[in-house]
């Protein structure tokens, strides 16, 4: 595994220290520690992290607000760390530009998996960005892909990875961009039935 530069933001000292220790055990370099969202946004500008871990509930500026602020300035994989497995929060996290969601308690395996997932989704985003050509369009395309994956997961009763593979295969076989395939799936879902 590559050594990554990681920014950690959590208002609880014990949690932040535990994350730092786990990250160092995974051979990553912690390039910044923030106590709240404002500090995280400022450090994201100067520390040049490869990955950012943000607690969702922090004083002054929560993790979702910080994720939105960071995402408007630079594209970097952001992972939300939280004790709250709330579907509404997860949807808001995706809209805020978050690439993975890590539920506490955190283990080394779960952290490694969340980082791998976040980086994979970030890589997908970069591909979408190359297809679409701009950041706003890439964010919209990513939302479409996420929505289409949800539809496929529900209709085909498959997991997230299989749904994404299905989208990629369909894109390749039809010689269409991934975002266009996703757009068609979402449009079919929204079509009124008579």
Residues 6+ apart with CB under 8 A from 172: none
C-alpha–C-alpha distance, residues 91 and 27, integer Å? 31
C-alpha–C-alpha distance, residues 148 and 59, integer Å? 35
Q: Are residues 139 and 173 in the same domain?
A: yes
Tokens of 37: 């969202």
Q: Are residues 64 and 38 in the same domain?
A: yes
pTM here is 0.67
Give me the pLDDT at residue 143, please.
85
- Of 126, 145, 177, the one marking the end of a domain is 126
Q: Are residues 18 and 98 in the same domain?
A: yes
Tokens of 43: 């450090």
CATH code for position 82: 3.40.50.2300
Q: Are residues 88 and 140 in the same domain?
A: no
Q: Are residues 103 and 149 in the same domain?
A: no
* DSSP character string of 116-178: HHHHHHHHHHHHHHHHH-SHHHHHHHHHHHHHHHHHHHHHHT--HHHHHHHHHHHHHHHT--H
Cβ count within 10 A of residue 129: 17
- Of 95, 126, 157, the one marking the end of a domain is 126
Q: Are residues 115 and 148 in the same domain?
A: no
Give me the pLDDT at residue 133, please.
62
Q: Are residues 25 and 109 in the same domain?
A: yes
Q: How many domains does the chain have?
A: 2
Q: Are residues 47 and 96 in the same domain?
A: yes
Decide: 106 and 19 in contact? Cβ < 8 Å.
yes
Give me the pLDDT at residue 1, please.
60
Give me the pLDDT at residue 20, please.
95
Q: Under the phi-then-psi rule, with left for phi > 0, alpha for psi from -120 to 50, and beta for the rest, what region is 34? A: beta
Q: Are residues 139 and 119 in the same domain?
A: no
Give me the pLDDT at residue 194, please.
55
The residue segments making up the domain with residue 13 are: 5-126
Q: Are residues 118 and 141 in the same domain?
A: no
In tens digits, the chain (194 residues) has pLDDT values of: 689 999 999 999 999 999 999 999 999 999 999 999 999 999 999 999 999 999 988 888 989 899 999 988 888 999 999 887 777 777 777 777 788 888 888 999 999 999 998 898 888 877 776 666 666 677 788 888 888 988 998 988 988 888 888 998 998 888 888 888 998 898 888 766 55
In the Cβ-directed half-sphere of 51, how many Cα atoms lie within 13 Å? 30
Give me the pLDDT at residue 45, please.
93
CATH code for position 170: 1.10.10.10
């Amino acid at each position: 595994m590559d050594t990554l530069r990681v920014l950690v933001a959590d208002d609880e000292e014990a949690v932040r220290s535990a994350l730092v220790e786990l990250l160092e055990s995974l051979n990553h370099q912690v390039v910044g520690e923030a106590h709240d969202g404002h500090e995280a946004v400022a450090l994201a500008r100067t520390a040049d992290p490869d990955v950012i871990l943000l607690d969702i509930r922090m004083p002054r500026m929560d993790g979702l607000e910080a994720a939105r602020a960071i995402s408007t300035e630079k594209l970097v994989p952001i992972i939300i760390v939280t004790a709250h497995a709330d579907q509404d929060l997860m949807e808001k996290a995706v809209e805020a530009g978050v690439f993975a969601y890590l539920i506490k308690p955190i283990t080394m395996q779960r952290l490694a998996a969340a980082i791998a997932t976040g980086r994979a989704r970030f890589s997908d985003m970069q591909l979408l960005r190359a297809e679409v050509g701009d950041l706003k369009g890439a964010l919209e395309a990513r939302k479409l892909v996420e929505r289409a994956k949800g539809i496929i997961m529900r209709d085909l009763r498959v997991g997230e990875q299989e749904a994404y593979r299905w989208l990629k295969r369909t894109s390749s076989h039809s010689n269409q961009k991934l975002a266009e395939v996703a757009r068609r799936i979402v449009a079919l879902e929204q079509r009124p039935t008579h």
